[in-house]
Structure 1
Amino acid sequence: MTAPEPIGEDLVLLFTALSATTQAEITAAIDRAGFGDLRPSDGFLVQHLHHGPATIGELATKLGITAQGVSKIVIEMERKGYVSRTPAADDQRRREVELTQKGWDAIYATRKARANVNRELRAALGPGAQAFLDQVHQLAESTGALAALTERRLRPQ
């Protein structure tokens, strides 16, 4: 059995810690912007609605969870005012889920919070920021993480 890497050299732990602390910072900023009832996991649903409405079944397939699970999330987000459900134009039995103005406002607040955190991180890296970003991009690409991100295949954990 090999000895574990020292914490300061364990990329998985370092990326996990960085992800947790930056997510907490973003969550706090979103809360200050008036969207404190959103959870980070709500973003996994929202990412599939920003291109237009989708049915519960379509969302379930994209999220890799049951239609019942998606319905529960949608009902909660509808109660909070972030999404609405309307009958589909081609079939009144189907309901399409779409973002409300409050949902869009939350997206813009999240983007602003992420941009601020990104600026802080780049400033902390100093002149080596671009080289570091290039290396992280290479890692993300070679591990398939970048494809999962851009194809919106990331799942809530």
Structure 2
Amino acid sequence: MHMIHVDLLSYLSLAGGALDGHVREQLRSRGFEGLRVRHGYVFQRLLVGPQSITELGRSLSVSQQAMSKTVRELANLGYVDTGTDPGDARRRVVRLTDRGRASITTAREIRSQLEARLARSVDGREVDGARAVITALLAELGLGDRIAERSAPDPDPERTDPSA
């Protein structure tokens, strides 16, 4: 087999895509159908608390129409529901359902299991070193605080079709 040099950031990008695919397939096999990577960005915001479609759309840099479509899709799948804000009956908000929270817990378990397998295949210091490099990269790209605040941007906000 002929090996070519691939830069670290290309490896990270390829690994990220493969990881997303792995998590989606595992979720599907455990009964959480229909989830897409972009739904995770909505879920992260809803973990903070219920939000309006307008707030969700603004925070993800998509139109209200695109966010309405995404919320409708997630509601039809049972991951979110909409209702009135207890603090303001005129305001409609989106919130995670028990099924939505269970999908998040399951995705975390899937990633944790994969990380444990990875840690068994390499030295623990290498995993720590990789985490430090990725943390530094995220800070360099201005995402460190956004991740901590659960407000990381969708990397492809131009895409308005939630099924894409």
Interval containing the TM-score (normalised by the shorter chain): 0.7 to 0.9
| Length-normalised TM-score, structure 1 | 0.85
What fraction of aligned residue pairs are identical, expressed as a percent?
Answer: 26
Match of 1:155 in 2: 154
CA drift at 1:144: 2.1
| Length-normalised TM-score, structure 2 | 0.82
Partner amino acid, structure 2, of 1:79? N
Deviation string, structure 1 residues 16-65 (Cα, Å, up to 9, x no partner)? 11111111211121112110221111111111111221111111111111
In the aligned structure 2, how far is the partner of 1:24 from the partner of 1:41? Answer: 12
Match of 2:129 in 1: 131
In the aligned structure 2, how far is the partner of 1:44 from the partner of 1:133? Answer: 21
Mark the runs of 5 or more structure 1 residues left unpaired by the alignment: 1-5
Match of 1:39 in 2: 36
Contact 1:55-1:95 at 8 Å conserved across structures: yes
More helix by share: 1
Contact 2:143-2:152 at 8 Å conserved across structures: no
1:20-59 → structure 2 map (5 Å cutoff): 20-59=17-56
In the aligned structure 2, how far is the partner of 1:141 from the partner of 1:107? Answer: 24
Match of 2:159 in 1: none
Contact 2:51-2:94 at 8 Å conserved across structures: yes
Mark the runs of 5 or more structure 2 residues left unpaired by the alignment: 157-164
In the aligned structure 2, how far is the partner of 1:82 from the partner of 1:72? Answer: 14
The structure-2 alpha-carbon separation of the partners of 1:124 and 1:154, relative to structure 1 and needing over 3 Å to count, comes to: farther
Contact 1:54-1:98 at 8 Å conserved across structures: yes
Larger deviation, residues 66-75 vs 116-125: 116-125
1:6-25 → structure 2 map (5 Å cutoff): 8-25=5-22
In the aligned structure 1, how far is the partner of 2:76 from the partner of 2:152? Answer: 26
> Among 57, 61, 66, which residue is 1:69 paired with?
66
> Among 131, 141, 144, which residue is 2:142 paired with?
144
In the aligned structure 2, how far is the partner of 1:14 from the partner of 1:7? Answer: 12
CA drift at 1:87: 1.9
Which consecutive aligned stretches of 4+ in structure 1 deviate over 6 angstroms post-superposition?
A: none
